[in-house]
Structure 1
């Protein structure tokens, strides 16, 4: 491979890597909302179970339930809020409460947990009738 081709491929690779990190950062800063059918106590218990194990510990935050990765004090904090709706469904809002950035890019471990939690709750509990399905496209 000649040096010019290598340089072009290297530049394309770097730009692609930076673009993917920016896209990941936009997804991390988003609040995910899912409306599920089921008793709020069961939804809370299922959420707490998703954070059981050695990697997550309860901590202070703005949500009803808040967890921090055990890796360091600078790791992200995932906050989860539950709202009982009048029709008996439960609205779950989850997002990052705190995170570390470097040049504007989220660096914290566990940054994708809010999205994964919303998808898991939607899979475990039926989506409420008339509720929009969870959209993880962004």
Structure 2
């Protein structure tokens, strides 16, 4: 397994495709961007990994719980990608297509001269995978595999 950088460009069936987690594209959510800056510090990550697994699991559970509560009061638009910043990133990497997650709003957008594909969330009642081939990209419900 290879840990990829925040942004990676792949050639998928002749289409230059930028892939990323998606959180860096949500620039309007300033509180999240501050949190991200902190948790991506290498020293903090090393210290965190030194904690017993039980403590790390509890801490992660608490952070997810707080995040879920915060999402309920944040305006929906700041929790989505910033369209202008996203378009600049796609152009900077010379990509024709962007695939990202983080917002979990499964959809294929055609905008600003490129295709933006948002991966969905996985729930007990629904999950999908993205199938990419020479004809394009399509979401396939997981139960079909």
TM-score of the superposition, structure 2-length normalised? 0.23
Q: Which has the higher contact order (CA 8 A, sep 6+)?
A: 1
Q: Tell me which structure has the larger Cα radius of gyration.
A: 1
Q: Name the one with the larger helix percent.
A: 2
What TM-score do you get using the length of structure 1 for normalisation? 0.23
